Amino acid sequence: MKLAVVGAGAVGSSVVELAGEYGHTVTALADSRSAAVDADGIDPAAVLEHKRTEGVVGAEDKTAALEAEYDVLVEVTPTTLGDAEPGFGHVQTALERDRNVVLANKGPVAERYGELQDLAAASDGEIRFEATVGGAIPILSTITDFDAKHITAVRGVLNGTANFILSRMAAEGLGYEHVLAEAQDLGVAEADPSFDVEGTDAALKCVIIANVLAEGEREYTLDDATVEGIHELPASALELAKADDRTIRLIGEVSSETVRVSPRLVPADSALAVTGTRNIVQLETTHAGRLNISGRGAGGPETASAIFADIGRLGSR
């Protein structure tokens, strides 16, 4: 298939690099200021090198990518809240052109789910967004495969940065600020870590899960979530948890029409007590008990893997 990739960060770059391996051709790549377009396929190495040296992917205007020839628009621009722009506009343009859209950007799916579904319904194109939740882990597709009506609750660790901080604090007895600085040095945490440590990122993922579970009967946005983060949690809290064979994890929960993200006590040997940047999701099913799925919840190639899985699913409905 022909892919137009909007967003040239870690995920977008990985999609461009790996597309050939999956049998796809990238016909356009856009970053926030420019675009590289070639109906026969852009040269991944050259374009990414151009981005590295010049700071932009190409000489054309960003809109050229949206107007280019493609089967699938891969929307991987940074997540924005509220009106979820410019991501939402990109998706709209593609669907109105009857093209398919695969997103890793959480904004449009968490904040404007209903509008997104309406646009998709009116289009010959499809919309898929497995990569918005849990990186490489197949969460949304598993919910769909099991049928949302047969999933009673979903809970899990959905933010690798927060989990890294908590597991380092517990393992080393170090303070929050110390571990946060370390995470920033390692590139695990952003310079402004608030999106991760305040629980917003995990909450957006839970809202997306809630939307998928609700199957259009109700629409959820970030405002429907109760969110408490891990910022400023003292080392003494983790110490006390440890002394009782427990630990603290930032847990997202979706059940009986509530969405909640908060630091919670879990047994130290619980499946939910994953360490480092790992993510895990537990699905409670009506006839098959509990299902645990874990893996890498973030990263360029990991998220790109989920995007290629979605591209592979297009047309299967």
Partner 1 sequence: MSDSTDGVRAYTVRLELVDRPGELLRALEPIANQGGNLLSIFHERGNLTPRGHIPVEVDLEANTEQFDEIVSALREEGINVIQAGAERYSEEIVIILVGHLVDTDLSHTLSRLQEETGSTVRDFSLSAPEGDSGESSARLRLATQSGQVEDVLGTVRDVAGEKDLRVVEPLAGGEA
Looking at beta carbons only, is 73 or 259 nearer to partner 1? 259
The torsion region of residue 268 among left (phi > 0), alpha (psi -120 to 50) and beta comes to alpha
Q: Which of 251, 254, 304, 307 binds partner 1 (CB under 8 A)?
A: 251
Catalytic residue of the set 2, 51, 62, 205: 205
278 belongs to the binding site for partner 1 (CB under 8 A): no
CB of 243 to partner 1, least distance (A): 7
Which residue stretch of 25-33, 39-47, 98-106, 230-238 sits at the interface with partner 1 (rule: CB under 8 A)?
230-238
267 belongs to the binding site for partner 1 (CB under 8 A): yes
Cα 22 from chain centroid?
21
Indicate if 205 belongs to the active site.
Answer: yes
Q: Which of 246, 278, 300, 310 binds partner 1 (CB under 8 A)?
A: 246
**How many CB atoms neighbour CB 98 within 10 A?**
10
- CA–CA separation, 121 and 287 (whole Å): 31
> What residue has token string 């699938």?
72
- Within positions 121 to 160, which residues make up the interface with partner 1, using CB under 8 A? 153, 155
20 belongs to the binding site for partner 1 (CB under 8 A): no
CB of 196 to partner 1, least distance (A): 18
> What residue has token string 């499809």?
126
Which residue stretch of 41-49, 73-81, 104-112, 247-255 sits at the interface with partner 1 (rule: CB under 8 A)?
247-255
Query: 4: buried, middle or exposed (CB in 10 Å: 19+, 13-18, 0-12)?
Result: buried
- Within positions 84 to 103, which residues make up the interface with partner 1, using CB under 8 A? none
281 belongs to the binding site for partner 1 (CB under 8 A): no
Beta strands in the chain (DSSP E): 2-6, 25-30, 35-37, 72-75, 100-103, 127-128, 151-157, 225-227, 246-255, 258-267, 278-285, 290-296
Looking at beta carbons only, is 63 or 152 nearer to partner 1? 152
- CA–CA separation, 23 and 100 (whole Å): 17
171 belongs to the binding site for partner 1 (CB under 8 A): no
Q: Which of 80, 255, 275, 285 binds partner 1 (CB under 8 A)?
A: 255
How many residues touch partner 1 under the rule CB under 8 A: the total is 31
Token pair belonging to 134: 């849990």
DSSP code per residue over 295-315? EE---HHHHHHHHHHHHHHTT
236 belongs to the binding site for partner 1 (CB under 8 A): yes
- CA–CA separation, 100 and 74 (whole Å): 9
CB of 209 to partner 1, least distance (A): 15
As annotated, the active-site residues are: 205
Q: Which residues bind partner 1 (CB under 8 A)?
A: 153, 155, 228, 233-237, 239-241, 243-244, 246, 248, 251, 253, 255, 262-267, 269-272, 282, 290, 292
